[in-house]
Structure 1
Amino acid sequence: MLEMNSTSSTMHPSADHSGIFALPVEERIDLAQRLWDSVRDEIEALPLTAAQRAEIERRVAEIDAGAVHCEPFDALMKRLLAE
Structure 2
Amino acid sequence: MKLKKIAILVIMLLLVLVCSQAGATEDGGISAETRERISDQYGLESPSSVLPYWAGADIGTSSPVDLMLLIIRFIVSPLTVMIQELL
- The TM-score, its normalising length taken from structure 2, stands at 0.37
- The TM-score, its normalising length taken from structure 1, stands at 0.38
Larger Rg: 2
